[in-house]
């Protein structure tokens, strides 16, 4: 009788290696998923602190919200140094005194390194993780505005932007801040823009990681196809692209008209 040698055959070895490889892949996917979930939670908590500071600032000013973009000669950096335009016009340094900290509220999930850079005042002003709905909430007063609320524009279109908490039709749905990006691999930007203004702003194409930032108003659907959004009512939600294409979430006038495809028109 022939003796059978103990040990694995080639086929058994290959099957075992395949199983280990599959399990390792599943494990890596699980780890990545857990990391993404943790980062999402960090951004949600940061957004809560951000909108709390924003509303606190409004309360200190009798309900008047800060401008989405406006030159402020009194804006200072962490050392109390006065900042020049446009760093003092973007919202981060103007709102910084009203939030617990720059790190962890304006910058997080890897962007904290901006605070160590030589040009940190500039980087913080341009690349906070969340952008403000500047044109329609607070108003975008300054260069590069898609619809600056000048006397001539107001005469033509009326007061299309919200400047006081009491003006909101549905504060629990009106987006103030949303996850933003300035480029394909560049998280964070100081503003986000609505799907429509006087014409279409967003592309009709669906958002992808390869999309150019302006094609979706600088909104970044980075959390499994969703963006973190902080509303005027103080609530924070994860919203997908379909939800954020609804103009009622961007404009108090759209909410009043109950028009998801609302556009600003001449009076």
Q: Does residue 179 belong to any structural domain of this protein?
A: yes
Best CA proximity match to 191, nearest among 86, 45, 68, 70: 68
Q: Domain of residue 128: give its range.
A: 10-257
Q: Does residue 53 belong to any structural domain of this protein?
A: yes
Q: Does residue 147 belong to any structural domain of this protein?
A: yes
For 51-81, the pLDDT digits (tens) are 999 999 999 999 999 999 999 999 999 999 9
For 75-98, the pLDDT digits (tens) are 999 999 999 999 999 999 999 999
Distances (CA, A) of 57 to 44, 95, 249: 20, 8, 22
Q: Does residue 1 belong to any structural domain of this protein?
A: no
The single residue listed with the structure tokens 């000048």 is 150
* Close Cβ partners of 140 (under 8 Å, ≥ 6 residues apart): 67, 68, 69, 134, 146, 147, 148, 149, 161, 191
Q: Does residue 267 belong to any structural domain of this protein?
A: no
For 186-232, the pLDDT digits (tens) are 899 999 999 999 999 999 999 999 999 999 999 999 999 999 999 99
Asked if residue 208 lies in contact with residue 145, where contact means CB atoms within 8 angstroms, the answer is no
Q: Does residue 172 belong to any structural domain of this protein?
A: yes
Number of domains within the chain:
1
For 224-245, the pLDDT digits (tens) are 999 999 999 999 999 999 999 9
pTM for this predicted structure = 0.88
Q: Does residue 265 belong to any structural domain of this protein?
A: no
Identify the three-state secondary structure at position 125. helix
Q: Does residue 249 belong to any structural domain of this protein?
A: yes
């Amino acid at each position: 009788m022939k003796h059978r040698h103990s040990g694995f055959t080639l086929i058994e070895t290959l099957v075992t290696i395949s199983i280990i490889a599959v399990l390792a892949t599943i494990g890596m996917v699980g780890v990545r998923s857990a990391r993404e979930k943790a980062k999402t939670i960090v951004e949600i908590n940061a957004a809560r602190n951000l909108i709390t500071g924003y509303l606190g600032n409004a309360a200190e000013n009798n309900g008047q919200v800060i401008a989405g973009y406006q030159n402020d000669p009194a804006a200072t950096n962490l050392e109390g140094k006065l900042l020049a335009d446009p760093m003092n016009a973007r919202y981060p340094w103007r709102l910084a005194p009203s939030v617990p900290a720059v790190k962890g509220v304006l910058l997080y999930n890897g962007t904290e390194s901006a605070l160590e850079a030589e040009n940190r005042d500039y980087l913080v002003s341009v690349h906070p993780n969340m952008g403000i709905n500047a044109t329609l909430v607070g108003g975008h007063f300054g260069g590069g505005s898609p619809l600056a609320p000048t006397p001539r524009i107001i005469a033509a279109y009326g007061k299309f932007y919200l400047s006081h908490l009491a003006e909101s039709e549905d504060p629990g749905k009106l987006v103030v801040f949303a996850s933003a990006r300035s480029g394909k691999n560049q998280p964070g930007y100081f503003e986000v823009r609505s799907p429509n203004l006087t014409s279409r702003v967003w592309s009709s194409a669906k958002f992808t990681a390869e999309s150019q930032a302006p094609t979706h108003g600088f909104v970044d659907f980075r959390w499994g196809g969703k963006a973190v959004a902080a509303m005027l009512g103080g609530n924070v939600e994860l919203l997908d692209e379909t939800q954020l294409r609804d103009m009622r979430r961007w404009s108090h006038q759209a909410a009043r008209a109950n028009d998801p495809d609302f556009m600003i028109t001449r009076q």
